[in-house]
Amino acid sequence: MKTVYSDRHRLQDGQSELIDGKLVKCFECPERADLVLARVRDRGIGDVLEPTSHGLDPVRRVHTPAFVDFLSTAWDEWVAAHGAYDALPITWPTRGLRQDRIPDAIDGKLSYFSLDAGTPITSGTWSAITAAADVALTGVDLVLGGERHAFSLCRPPGHHASADVYGGYCFFNNAAVAAQSFRDRGAGTVAILDVDYHHGNGTQAIFYDRSDVVFASLHGHPQQEYPFFLGWDDETGTGAGEGANRNWPLRHGTAWDAYGAALDEACAYLAGHRPDVLVVSLGVDTFKDDPISKFRLEHEDYLRIGAKIAALDVPTLVVFEGGYAVSEIGINAVNVLEGMSA
């Protein structure tokens, strides 16, 4: 299996995020991708390729022009207003406030376009996120070029980003950009399987009213886990997308027996839509020792996840998402890839 990777991910190196009432060093750090890459090479699973540039047009197929423009200038606007430290929002347009006007002030723009205060914009954010989109799109190139499976080692992750909102460490939705590119290049139906611990709220929102991209997610229950306000099992799509969205919310402490059973159901659901291609949002924060998650999966369970994905027998692009047990992240991510190839 070929891996696509860019060193430019290291340019996103936020110094602080707000979690549990404290400003702490970001859990989403460069070491995450570096350790996955090292494991890919140590295990010899295939060639590692640099991404090719695809420009912003494929990104704009998923994200609004105003959102893309905001991200392209946010750092410079922040520095001009405040100085060269991480940009974080301070307020949000919640119930009773207007959402139809974008403020001129950078503090207002950050708040308008963001989901949380855990996703800093830094001097390197724009370069890192455009590279991550190219990593995903180069994976699309590989699969359409005849590779049965490919791995896009994206960082920052993407599945919490919707058409015009960033958050949850995510800016551009790499998996959604890839799925839309598959559609634009001839795939009839694209399936997305999200196995990150946190619900892929952004991906769901982007495709919720469409039947050509089918979404299935296994994740921490929104009664207990971020992002809290999406990911229930009664969210099944709307309009043309009715029936093309399914969620499997799972409670704290979920281990392999319950997780594997839910994954079987999700795979059967996706198979029923007869997809031409599969995009997997691969998060390994379901691991028992992940510092910000509460599932109980073991190393060997990721081999099983990979085997179940491969059993769908569909050309597959794996797009890297979350996972914060940094010392174990490479083992778990590559176990999925090796499980797919067994």
Number of Cα atoms under 13 Å in the Cβ half of residue 128: 26
Which CATH topology does 2-17+24-54+124-341 take?
Arginase; Chain A (3.40.800)
**Mean pLDDT, the chain, whole residue set:** 98
The confidence score (pLDDT) of residue 68 equals 99
Asked if residue 274 has pLDDT above 90, the reply is yes
Query: What percent of the chain shows pLDDT beyond 90?
Result: 97
What pLDDT, in 10s, does the model give residues 108-119?
999 999 999 999
Instruction: Say which of 160, 198, 219, 221 is annotated catalytic.
Output: 160
- Which tops the pLDDT comparison, 21 or 308? 308
C-alpha distances (whole Å) from 259 to each of 116, 177, 213, 287 are 28, 27, 23, 12
Q: Is 63 a catalytic residue?
A: no
Predicted confidence band of residue 59 (pLDDT cuts 50, 70, 90): very high
| Cis, bond preceding 89 (omega within 30 deg of 0) | no
What burial letters (b/e) apply to 240-270, b meaning 16+ CB within 10 Å? Answer: ebeebbbbbbbeeebebebbeebbeebbebb
pLDDT digits (tens, 9 = 90+) for 11-21: 999 998 888 88
Report if pTM > 0.95.
yes
Cα 274 to its chain centre, rounded Å, is 23
Name the token pair of 110.
């950050």
Q: What integer pLDDT is reported at residue 342 of this predicted model?
A: 84
CB 213 within 8 A of CB 207: yes
pLDDT at res. 21:
87
Contact (CB, 8 A) for 198 and 163: no
The model's pLDDT over 12-53, given as tens digits with 9 standing for 90+, comes to: 999 988 888 888 899 999 999 999 999 999 999 999 999 999
